[in-house]
A = this chain, B = another copy of it.
Amino acid sequence: MRTVTGFETAGRKERSDMTTILVTGGHGFLGSHYIHELLNKYPAYRVVSIDVQAEPVPELIRPLYACDRYAFHQVDIRNNDAVEAIFSHYAISQVVHFAAKTHVGESMENPGVFAETNVLGTFHVLEAARKQWMNGPFETKPQYAGSRFLHISTDQVYGPRDEGWADENTKRSPINPYASSKASSELMVKNFHESYGMDALVLQASNVYGPHQQADKLIPIVLRKALSGGIIPVYGNGQDVHDWLFVEDFWRAVDTVFHLGDAGHTYLAGGEQSLKTLDIVVSICTALDLHFPGNTSFNEQIRFVEPANGTKVPHRFAVSTEKLKRELDFEVQTAFEKGLAQTIDWTLSKNRLWEVV
């Protein structure tokens, strides 16, 4: 187990202008981007990061080892005692909760670990926060006035739709165990607000992409398959539709909701770009053709393959970002073409493709 501790808190007198934020899942794609940006933007914030995985340390996190406002502990949120220990040791005053099992296919195979991590694990973090922050229902301890729990969720909770856009009032219709577990965890978060008056709220994001993304997601997979010369698999007919949100827009949405959102509310952040999977694959291949000109297009490597057992395609996921724009002045800044180009450039320049195969 690897533990990095840049600062100590418990039982000591602290500078009162310091806010200590627990970021769960801090070694994930989203969590590591968030921590990186948060510490850069807010000199008065400290971050305690926990993650079930200590290694590998994400590239965005490595420079933070020299930062005395950053600490990391390897914690599985299924372990209630470990979660509580973090809260009391660091006198955690804010939470941004990313930690979750997220792979839809894996959730079909092994839903148990999703229920344990995403549902019960979220409960552990909520309950630890309640114990740390509150004397009783609707009685926040004075020193934790202003404490807030931001839960990161997903547009998958709404399920697919034939037309129109899901918004925060749309009925939840999860169609896989991952989405179901996230819908359950959202209910718990809202309930800690309803039942105990805890300042808790939810940000749902659509499909986030960008530099540093995990190797098993669509864009890295297509890049790797294309450049390795093998076939580029497209499941079903590639007509499923998702909304894509660039990671920089995502991080700004988290920042916006964390600082400006209303307690008890849910905010939905999409990139306002609903795209067919096949179109994305073709876009990637076309971009690669410019990087590596040749006699044939990378598009020729595309093959349609049968979807995995139990997967129903094509699905259409589409979300409205209107509430976030209207109420919190959020704006999507990165069009997909630009975000995709940045992602491809980063991946190629860093030669990241070969790190994970």
Instruction: Report which A residues bind B (CB closer than 8 A).
Output: 80, 108, 111-112, 115-116, 119-120, 123, 127, 136-138, 169, 171-177, 179-180, 183-184, 187-188, 190-191, 194-197, 309-310
**A and B contact pairs by CB, cutoff 8 A, 29 listed:** A80-B112, A108-B137, A111-B195, A112-B127, A115-B119, A115-B123, A116-B120, A119-B123, A136-B309, A136-B310, A137-B310, A169-B171, A171-B171, A172-B187, A174-B191, A174-B194, A175-B191, A175-B194, A176-B191, A177-B195, A179-B191, A180-B187, A180-B188, A180-B191, A180-B194, A180-B195, A183-B187, A184-B188, A196-B310
State the CA gap A116–B180 with chains docked (Å).
16
A195 near B310 with CB under 8 A, answer: yes
- Give the distance to chain B from A192, nearest Cβ to Cβ, in Å: 8
Q: Closest B-chain residue to A107, C-beta based?
A: B195
- A188-B180, A194-B174 known; A111-B138 Cβ under 8 A: no
Tell me whether chain A's interface is mostly helix, strand or loop, or mixed.
helix
Please name the 7 residue pairs, one residue from A and one from B, whose CB atoms are nearest each other, closest first. A137-B310, A180-B191, A184-B184, A115-B123, A175-B194, A176-B195, A183-B187
- Give the distance to chain B from A195, nearest Cβ to Cβ, in Å: 5
B115 near A120 with CB under 8 A, answer: yes
Q: Beyond the given A108-B196, A180-B187, could you list 13 further A-B residue pairs with CB under 8 A, ordered by the A residue number?
A: A111-B123, A111-B195, A115-B120, A137-B310, A138-B310, A174-B187, A174-B194, A175-B191, A176-B194, A177-B191, A177-B195, A180-B191, A180-B195
Number of copies: 2
B residues within 8 A CB of A179?
A: 191
A123 near B127 with CB under 8 A, answer: no
B residues within 8 A CB of A176?
A: 191, 194-195
- Give the distance to chain B from A164, nearest Cβ to Cβ, in Å: 17
- Give the distance to chain B from A81, nearest Cβ to Cβ, in Å: 12
B residues within 8 A CB of A108?
A: 137, 195-196
B residues within 8 A CB of A190?
A: 180
- A120-B120, A177-B191, A180-B187 known; A309-B111 Cβ under 8 A: no
Q: Closest B-chain residue to A114, C-beta based?
A: B123
- Give the distance to chain B from A143, nearest Cβ to Cβ, in Å: 21
B residues within 8 A CB of A180?
A: 187-188, 190-191, 194-195
B residues within 8 A CB of A177?
A: 191, 195
- Give the distance to chain B from A182, nearest Cβ to Cβ, in Å: 10
A119 near B184 with CB under 8 A, answer: yes
- Give the distance to chain B from A200, nearest Cβ to Cβ, in Å: 12
State the CA gap A136–B137 with chains docked (Å).
44
State the CA gap A75–B293 with chains docked (Å).
66
